[in-house]
Amino acid sequence: MSRKRNIFEEVGEGAKRASAPAGGVIDGSRKGARRAIRVWLSALGVLVVLMIVAGGLTRLTDSGLSITEWQPISGALPPMSADAW
């Protein structure tokens, strides 16, 4: 920082005009990338709607209430011997 920077921009008649930046990275990218993203997000949206519908049907038909106590980690071990069966 050897020289001071100006806080304000000179906007008089004799001042140089800054050139506009040349387009963004997104606008200059391939068109196929936008289409792929659109397809991906649409597929995710459809899957979310399908999960909501499946959950609603499960609730309406009471078919999700058959597993009232499910302990996959802390205690749902099958019988380990023939006598336990």
How many angstroms from the chain centroid is the CA of residue 17? 41
- The pLDDT of residue 45: 98
For tokens 């078919």, the residue is 63
- The pLDDT of residue 63: 78
Measure the CA–CA gap between 1 and 53, rounded to whole angstroms. 62
Report the SS3 class of residue 49: helix
- The pLDDT of residue 48: 98
pTM higher than 0.85 for the full model?
A: no
- The pLDDT of residue 43: 98
Average pLDDT of adjacent 10-residue blocks, the chain of 85 residues = 72 68 65 85 98 91 69 70 83
- The pLDDT of residue 49: 98
Taken as a whole, the chain contains a residue count of 85
First to last CA, the chain: 81
